[in-house]
């Protein structure tokens, strides 16, 4: 607990350091409610009365905590600090439950910016603490007993700090108030430690009294049995034995230890690259029955942890079986499989090798002509582009072609030889008929080889398809163009020698 609260103090100091970054507002919801943050908890958690600053949660109740900070695109690394656990690179929304009563801080931090909110965990059997009267009398709140005293001179209450001031916001080069914040954090840490010691002393006192009552009850029962045995011994030894047997009361059985009812966990990723961090979170229940968690990650690594979440990364590609065993019991295990991909190193396209000197001095035209466009032509969108086949009948070089677009945007032309990419050109077009320059491929098309020209419009871009105009085939004297129902390229010009 002390280390956890120390993390709160360190996180709060980071806000005062004034790093140069974009302005970010940190906030999160607890079960869909926007609880007021309490960075300055002078009246919390031991004296707070405003219920809008507390989320009330029953023991072992699963709650949803969701990051609603703005802007989301500015988030570089999200860090949750909940229930003595730290979740690095965590999801935007997580589930959590608590198995101890009392006030618990929930902290969301990213880019060095923390947000602190408080929940109060209560036992349903002891009543609903949302009644202010019961809240004030609850011993777990550490409220001081009422005393009779002369009313002090009325003082004007300081205006309540607006909620917006409680939401930490990073501003450029803001360095004032760091010392005051440090002192406040030290005070909060001391108060939390004192409260923990009081609760521990109270628990020990309750246990001591229970043990003393149990010993006294057993001693009284033994004395009663001994007296009854002495009275009946004058009648007969057999009667004394029978009476003693009937009046003896066995000691109460020890408290039953809770058993694990279900074992499950989730992983932040099922497929990742080498070196990526994967977070595994235990979701077994009940939490009070879990003493330790034994994780095995399938690469020879094992980790024993008391917290619900662990993070692991892999150094080699492959499929790994991850297992979780609760309390080291082989019958309380759960497994899952994660796939790790190797880092892909994409080689640059190899430049085409010229097959001897080539002098491009004769020009030709092939493919469908733009003059065949009719009124029934339609505009279509291909998210993955349209692919045309090119079969040259002699060695030639592409020069240009026409393409008709409906909206403004870019179009990418990619040329493949025998399935291997040999060039790519990106051009920006305005609505209407446009001239696409293809001589920038700097490639010669050889006869008896297979070529493909992929035309990929940008998102939302529409290309004119005149297949409905019955334009005929794209066969020509020097090159055949296969459209496959996607007639979008016209007047393909080339040169040869």
Whether residue 337 sits in one domain with residue 368: no
8: DSSP letter: H
Whether residue 139 sits in one domain with residue 45: yes
Q: What CATH code is carried by the domain that includes residue 463? A: 2.60.120.820
Per-residue pLDDT, 1: 52
Whether residue 319 sits in one domain with residue 171: no
Of the residues 297, 312, 341, the one at which a domain ends: 341
d(CA 366, CA 105): 73
d(CA 314, CA 340): 7
The confidence band for 305, taking pLDDT boundaries of 50, 70 and 90, is: confident
At a CB cut-off of 8 Å and minimum separation 6, what does 157 contact? Answer: none
Whether residue 458 sits in one domain with residue 336: no
**Is 23 a member of any domain?**
yes
Whether residue 305 sits in one domain with residue 192: no
Whether residue 194 sits in one domain with residue 57: yes
**Is 156 a member of any domain?**
no
**Is 227 a member of any domain?**
no
pTM reported for the whole predicted model: 0.32
Q: Residue 496 is encoded by which pair of tokens?
A: 């040869």
**Is 324 a member of any domain?**
yes
Residue 116: alpha-carbon gap to chain centroid:
19
d(CA 9, CA 276): 30
**Is 285 a member of any domain?**
yes
Of the residues 286, 312, 341, the one at which a domain ends: 341
Name the residue range of residue 326's domain: 265-341
Give, rounded to a whole angstrom, the gap between the first and last alpha carbons of the chain.
83
Mean pLDDT to the nearest integer, 149-159? 44
* Res 337 pLDDT > 70: yes
Mean pLDDT to the nearest integer, 60-83? 84
Q: What CATH code is carried by the domain that includes residue 136? A: 2.60.40.10
Residue 97: alpha-carbon gap to chain centroid:
17
Whether residue 485 sits in one domain with residue 433: yes
Q: Residue 205 is encoded by which pair of tokens?
A: 């006192």
* Res 155 pLDDT > 70: no
Whether residue 368 sits in one domain with residue 325: no
Mean pLDDT to the nearest integer, 177-198? 81
Asked whether 352 and 422 are in contact (CB, 8 A), the reply is yes
Whether residue 301 sits in one domain with residue 423: no
**Is 99 a member of any domain?**
yes
Whether residue 370 sits in one domain with residue 318: no
Q: Report pLDDT digits (tens) over 441-467.
A: 878 889 989 999 999 888 777 888 888
Q: Report pLDDT digits (tens) over 269-278.
A: 889 999 899 9
**Is 216 a member of any domain?**
no
Whether residue 190 sits in one domain with residue 63: yes
As separate numbers, helices (DSSP H) first and strands (DSSP E) second, the chain gives: 5, 28
Of the residues 283, 310, 341, the one at which a domain ends: 341
Number of folded domains that form the chain: 3
Whether residue 180 sits in one domain with residue 280: no
**Is 148 a member of any domain?**
no
Sign, CA dihedral 30-36-39-42, equals negative
Q: Report pLDDT digits (tens) over 105-139.
A: 888 887 777 888 888 888 888 877 776 444 444 44
């Amino acid at each position: 607990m002390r280390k956890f609260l120390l993390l709160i103090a360190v996180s709060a100091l980071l806000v005062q350091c004034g790093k140069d970054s974009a302005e970010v507002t940190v906030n999160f919801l607890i079960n869909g409610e926007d609880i007021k943050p309490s960075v300055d908890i002078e009246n919390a958690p031991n004296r707070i009365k405003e219920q809008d600053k507390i989320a009330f949660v029953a023991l072992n109740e699963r709650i949803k905590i969701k990051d609603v900070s703005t802007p989301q695109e500015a988030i570089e690394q999200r860090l949750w600090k909940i229930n003595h656990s730290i979740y690095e690179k965590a999801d935007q929304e997580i589930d959590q439950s608590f198995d101890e009563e009392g006030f618990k801080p929930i902290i969301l931090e990213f880019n060095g910016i923390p947000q602190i909110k408080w929940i109060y965990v209560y036992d349903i059997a002891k009543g609903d603490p949302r009644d202010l009267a019961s809240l004030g009398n609850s011993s777990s709140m550490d409220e001081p007993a009422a005393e009779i005293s002369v009313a002090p001179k009325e003082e004007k209450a300081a205006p309540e700090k607006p909620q917006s001031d409680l939401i930490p916001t990073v501003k450029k080069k803001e360095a004032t108030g760091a010392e005051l914040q440090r002192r406040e954090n030290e005070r909060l840490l001391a108060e939390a430690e004192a409260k923990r010691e009081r609760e521990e002393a109270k628990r020990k006192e309750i246990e001591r009294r229970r043990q003393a009552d149990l010993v006294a009850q057993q001693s009284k029962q033994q004395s009663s049995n001994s007296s009854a045995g002495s009275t009946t011994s004058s009648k007969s030894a057999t009667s004394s034995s029978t009476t003693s047997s009937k009046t003896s009361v066995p000691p109460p059985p020890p408290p039953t230890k809770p058993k694990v009812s279900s074992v499950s966990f989730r992983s932040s990723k099922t497929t990742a690259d080498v070196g990526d961090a994967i977070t595994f979170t235990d979701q077994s229940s009940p939490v009070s029955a879990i003493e330790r968690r034994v994780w095995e990650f399938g690469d020879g690594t094992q980790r024993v942890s008391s917290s619900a979440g662990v993070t692991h990364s892999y150094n080699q590609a492959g499929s790994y079986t991850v297992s979780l065993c609760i309390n080291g019991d082989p019958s309380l295990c759960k497994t899952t499989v994660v796939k790790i991909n190797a880092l892909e190193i994409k080689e640059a396209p190899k430049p085409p090798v010229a097959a001897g000197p080539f002098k491009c001095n004769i020009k030709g035209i092939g493919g469908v002509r733009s003059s065949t466009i009719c009124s029934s032509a339609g505009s279509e969108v291909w998210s993955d582009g349209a692919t045309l086949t090119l079969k040259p009948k002699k060695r030639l070089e592409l020069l240009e072609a026409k393409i008709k677009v409906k909206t403004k945007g870019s179009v990418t032309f990619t040329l493949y030889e025998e399935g291997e990419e040999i060039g790519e050109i990106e051009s920006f077009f305005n609505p209407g008929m446009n001239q696409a320059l293809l001589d920038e491929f700097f490639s010669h098309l050889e006869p008896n080889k297979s070529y493909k020209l992929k035309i990929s419009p940008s998102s939302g871009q529409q290309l004119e398809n005149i297949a409905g105009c019955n334009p005929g085939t794209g066969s020509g004297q020097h090159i055949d163009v296969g459209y496959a129902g996607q007639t979008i390229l016209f007047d393909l010009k080339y040169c040869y020698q």
